[in-house]
Structure 1
Amino acid sequence: MDDEQAKIDLYTLLQRCRQVDPGIKPAHLAQLTQCVGSGVNVLDHARRLKDVEIRRRLCLFGQELSARAVSDPDGVLDWATEEITAIASDTVRAGDIMPLSDVLRATLDRLEQRQKARLSGACVGVPTGLQRLDAITGGWRGGQLIVLAGRPAMGKSAVMLYFARAAAASGVPVCIFSLEMPNDQLAGRMLVGGSDVSAGAFRVGNIDTDGWYKLEQTRSALSALPVYLNDRAGISMTTIRSQCRAMQRRGRCGMVVIDYLQLLDTSTGNRTSTREREVAEASRAAKLLAKE
């Protein structure tokens, strides 16, 4: 049917099949469609199979090593070295180790792109929204972990939302994980920040007609931005990583914002672990997420 460019659905397929077998039932075809796995995650499935194969080879290696240690103690060391080297060589993924020449070529290509962006007056990386900061840093870059630090009530969350809005306005999808504020409060702060409406008036609902007009204009502009919010409390870096990977597969994650680091679930079950170690581990996990 596909070769004939015919429309394919359950009904048309049933009619075609009944030309061959009049007794075929619609329920049978419907059941067959549920037996076909999706190809969306085929790479993850392949990596899983590879991992299982490596572990199976290690198990067989251990069994044979035990037998050879008894029957051939003189030659077992040479054999074991060759076997474990062969297994280890298969675990090295293509792209993990690259020749310096390829890295240098890619580095100069990126330098050329940065120079073109600078000559055209554009930001080299993801715009921060602050021209002076862009001139100093070149904007945010992929793989970076940026820590925005300050004392309480200094405006860290406000600056974070400004950075997120600037990045989204440049076309970079932003995922915001807010462990401190709910989504509606975040959205309210974005509305206030973009409309020049008084935060106090917004908080108590004292908005005049002009204020409502500004808020509606800001809402329309913000709604077009690729910004995605998650206000789940006590979320862990493992959960954030899995959600970011899922969003990235759909093209919806180019920048991740976590507000804020100390509220992450860093419980490890280790009673001797200190708070400093837990925060350091969360920072490490965030850096690995950025690099990935």
Structure 2
Amino acid sequence: MNAPTNQKPLADLQLEIAALGAMMTEANAVPVGIAYLRGNADIFYLPRHRLIFRAIIALQGTGDAVDILTVSNHLRQAGHLEQAGGAKYVAAFTQHVHNAAALSTHCATLIDLYAKRRTAEIATQLLKTAYDFTADAGDVLALAQASLNEVQDSRQVRRAQTLGQLFHPAIDEVVAATQTPGGITGVPTGLLALDKLTGGWQPGQLIIIAARPGMGKTSATLAVANMAEARDFPGLFCSLEMSAMELAKKAIGTATDRSTNQLQRGGGMSPAEAEDLRRQAAHLGHSRLLIDDTPGLSIGELRAKATKAKNEHGIKVIYVDYLQLMTGEKGGNREQEIGSISRALKGIAKELHLPVIALAQLSRAVETRGGDKKPQLSDLRESGSIEQDADIVIFPFRAEYYGITQDEEGNSTAGQTELIIAKHRSGALGNPVVKSNMATGKYEDMDADKPFEVPVGLSRMPHASDFEKAPF
């Protein structure tokens, strides 16, 4: 990109020469430079410097020595020597190496300059796109967010760490886990039977909650989202199926033990009784749970909305209802598109260091199969990559929906939901059972009346401030 005439180029050619010279002078500098710059030749401003850096990478990759002669020879064989300035230009690099030990510092400065150049290029591109009347505003915002995230990622130098370096931080996490009620170190769901197995939703995790219609996956997720918010873990709830108003009424129904249908129609209530709902569910009037009901939400839009929500509202978790209604990469079949969505959701979880809970629809194979109708991982619709990308897969299952009134031990299944943890990348599997009221959307532990026993010295459930301090 050409800089404005009144501004200097966002580059430092002397630093570029010093960095390349160090890599062509000291063998130990080669892996350092490649690692810091992550093999990205575009970090160099001059095209000839990019060619030289690519030659260094190529020689390093084949195990050949890297010096002035080998780099010049490689460029000559590739037909790029003249474009790189010629043999004399390459040889002159050794005259500018003042302190090879400062290579990491030089690289950090070059990365920052590159980030500023890319930001300027993105701004120019966005300005042009924004003034295109045929461009969709959502696409423009998604492009902006994705481009800036890419630049931000280029500035993150991820160094390999020894086990010795990781040892004490790992012990710190173990100690922190012992100091939280029940070992709940992530976002609590409010269902202790579930939290005891998962430790709460952890940052960077992709959790899939999958079921057939009628199992209550939306009701359960909304209930969990509200219970987490009540413990000061606000989230972003993206609903692609139900409207924001429908979800609000569902939350009010749960809080006041009334069905959504009753609230929708006002059935059985006088105006005064309906008005009294404000008092009964007053805590919801202060809820920080964000609800977004954008239809056909794309991954780019979700990333932009989630980043904004984290920066402006401090969200700790993201909920998506549901995955198959999102739009992903086009150009392939539906299975490939769903795969691109699940991969992107996992990427967002890692980028924002937040758990992402995505609901998914199961195939009809569950209902055509005999036996107890319990779902299996193979029932995930349209893409096996959902299972592959997920850290946790949970199947909410209501036996009574299929007319199964007793479990294997002869206990009643009425008003119960079994949360089948079919995959847990970092923990145990299990089938915790919770109470569920489909009419009101209320979920609670089977022994909800029993006080939760916390470790000595603690007297509460985890709070968002604990989450911020946890050494994840």
TM-score, length-scaled by structure 1 = 0.68
SS of match in other structure, 1:135: helix
Identity of aligned residues (%): 27
- Give 2:171's aligned amino acid: L
Check if 1:147 corresponds to 2:147.
no
SS of match in other structure, 1:99: coil
What are the equivalent positions in structure 2 for 1:225-240 lying under 5 Å apart?
225-240=287-302
Contact 1:261 1:282 (8 Å CA) reproduced:
yes
> How far apart, in 1, do the equivalents of 2:208 and 2:251 lie?
21
| Runs of 5+ consecutive residues of structure 2 not aligned to the other structure | 1-36, 53-79, 95-102, 112-153, 352-472
Q: 1:72 — aligned with what? A: 87
Q: Which has the larger strand fraction? A: 2
Q: 2:349 — aligned with what? A: 290
Deviation readout 1:189-236 (Å, 9 max, x if unpaired): 111112111333222221425853662234421122210111111111
> How far apart, in 1, do the equivalents of 2:42 and 2:268 lie?
65
Q: 1:157 — aligned with what? A: 218
Contact 1:174 1:228 (8 Å CA) reproduced:
yes
SS of match in other structure, 2:206: coil
Shift of 1:103: 2.6
Q: 1:183 — aligned with what? A: 244
Q: 1:106 — aligned with what? A: 169
TM-score, length-scaled by structure 2 = 0.44
Contact 1:167 1:173 (8 Å CA) reproduced:
yes
Q: 2:148 — aligned with what? A: none
| Runs of 5+ consecutive residues of structure 1 not aligned to the other structure | 1-49, 80-85
Contact 1:126 1:139 (8 Å CA) reproduced:
yes
Q: 1:201 — aligned with what? A: 262
SS of match in other structure, 2:169: helix
Report the CA distance shift for 1:186/1:55 in structure 2 as closer, same or farther (over 3 A).
Answer: same
Shift of 1:93: 4.6
> How far apart, in 2, do the equivalents of 1:151 and 1:247 lie?
30
> How far apart, in 1, do the equivalents of 2:208 and 2:280 lie?
28
Q: 2:320 — aligned with what? A: 258
> How far apart, in 2, do the equivalents of 1:70 and 1:172 lie?
57
- Give 1:106's aligned amino acid: P
Q: 2:416 — aligned with what? A: none
Q: How many residues align?
A: 230
Shift of 1:71: 4.2
Shift of 1:125: 2.0
Shift of 1:149: 0.1
- Give 1:288's aligned amino acid: G
Q: 1:215 — aligned with what? A: 277
Report the CA distance shift for 1:228/1:218 in structure 2 as closer, same or farther (over 3 A).
Answer: farther
> How far apart, in 2, do the equivalents of 1:247 and 1:134 lie?
25
Q: 2:158 — aligned with what? A: 96
Contact 2:188 2:200 (8 Å CA) reproduced:
yes
> How far apart, in 1, do the equivalents of 2:281 and 2:48 lie?
62
> How far apart, in 2, do the equivalents of 1:277 and 1:200 lie?
38
Deviation readout 1:119-148 (Å, 9 max, x if unpaired): xx5733211111111112111111111100
- Give 1:250's aligned amino acid: E
> How far apart, in 1, do the equivalents of 2:302 and 2:290 lie?
13
> How far apart, in 1, do the equivalents of 2:189 and 2:282 lie?
22
Contact 1:126 1:170 (8 Å CA) reproduced:
no
Corresponding residue to 2:310 among 222, 241, 248: 248
